[in-house]
Structure formats: structure tokens, C-alpha cells
Amino acid sequence: MRAVYTLARRLMGNHDDADDVAQETFVRAYQALDRYDESFAFYTWLRTIATRVAWNELAKRKRRRTSGGETFDLAAERVAGAAADPVALAAEAETRERLRRAVDALPGDFRAVVALRAFEDLSYAEIAEVLDIPIGTVMSRLSRARSLLRQAWSPHDPLPTEREP
């Protein structure tokens, strides 16, 4: 359940939409039980449903993200690792939070490929299949999304360029 919500959260970029997608995913799973192929992992099936629900919603609404309305408990984001240096941990947490917000702020079609690649470990071909877009589009969106995210991760990080030594 949390995995579905987490994916929805990453796909939609905000809590309210993620909640809607997560619920809708389970509703559709119930309604489509007949079509579940047991040779695949159950989560894989749920993931496909969640992704398509989110993707359709993004395509339908054509908007990036809602503002505000996030009711999550930030304290729950605390990261384990009590043995780590508190200063380093704080800096790392700050970077992580900055990066997370940058992912949320990506346009929906960029965010989707990042979520499926970076968090769900899907191959380019799998992403292309689940989103029903060409592999070339997956690659170009991923590349542009990563360029944007690198700026958030490290503002002085140069964009990758081709250079002669």
C-alpha cells in the first residue's frame, strides 16, 4: 500500500493528487482482478495501474502540481542512522529535501520518467511501454529532467557537455 502511495506521490508531486491516485489504483485493481496475470509480481501489476492512472490524470489536467494542501507529517521523514555525524546528516538531509522538492516541481511528464527510472528501477523500454511513449522520448525527457535536478542538487554543478581534452 505504501509502495503504491509512494509511487503516486512521486508521479504526482503532491500529497492530494497522490492520495487520489493511490485510492483509484486499488479500486481499479479490485475491478480488474480478472485481468491480473499471476506470472507477474503483484506489485508490478499495481505499479502499472498506478502509473497509468497518474499518467492519465496528468495528461487530462495538463498542470504541473497543486500548491499547498500537503498534510503529511514531516517528522516521519526523519532518516535513520543515529551513528552519523549530525552536521553531515543535516547537510545531507537538506540536500535530499532540496532534491525532493525539485523532483516535485518538475513538469509531470519529466517527473514520471524520473520516478519510474530512479525510484522504480524500470528500464527505458519498460518506461516506454508503461507510459506508451517512444524510447527516444523517454531518453530525452530523462536527460532534460536530470539536467534540471542536477542544478537543484548542486547549483554549481556544470551541465554535461562534450569537450575536447
Partner 1 sequence: MKHVQPELDAYLDRALAPQDRARVESHLEVCGDCRTALARARDFAAALGDTRAPDPGAAYWSRFAARVETRLERHRSADPARGYERWTSWLFPRGRFAWVRAAGAVATVTLVTYIGMRGFRPESLRQVSEVVERERAPATVPNPPPGDTPPAPQVDEPSRLEAEAPGTRSVSDGVSPRSNVEVEDFRAAVDPKKVALPSTVAEETSQAAESPETSKPSVALPVERDAVESSPLEGLADKAERAAAGASSFEDARIVVEPHVAPSPSAPGLAAEEVRRQRREAQVRETLVLPERDLTYGATLRKELKARSIADPVEAFVTAAVASDTSLAAAALLRFQAEPAHAAVEAEKMRRWLVSASDRHVRGGRSDRNLAASAPPADGASLLLLYELAWPRRHSVPMRPLLEVLAARLASGATDAGLRLAARETLAWLVATSATDAERSTWQAKLDSLPE
- The contact set with partner 1 (CB under 8 A) reads 1-6, 9-10, 15, 18-19, 22-24, 26-27, 29-31, 33-34, 36, 38, 41-43, 46, 70-74, 76-82, 95-97, 99-100, 103, 114, 117-121, 123-124, 139, 142-143, 146, 149-150, 153-154, 157, 160-165
Residue 67 Cβ vs partner 1, minimum distance, rounded to whole Å: 16
In the chain the first and final C-alpha atoms are separated, in Å, by: 50
Residue 64 Cβ vs partner 1, minimum distance, rounded to whole Å: 17
Cβ 153 vs Cβ 98: under 8 Å = yes
Q: Distance of alpha carbon 45 from its chain centroid, rounded?
A: 17
Nearer to partner 1, 55 or 103 (CB): 103
Return the residue matching grid coordinates 527505458.
Answer: 124
Q: Is 66 left (phi over 0), alpha (psi -120 to 50) or beta?
A: beta
Nearer to partner 1, 62 or 158 (CB): 158
Distance (Å) of CA 24 to CA 5, 18, 20, 98: 11, 10, 6, 29
Nearer to partner 1, 8 or 55 (CB): 8
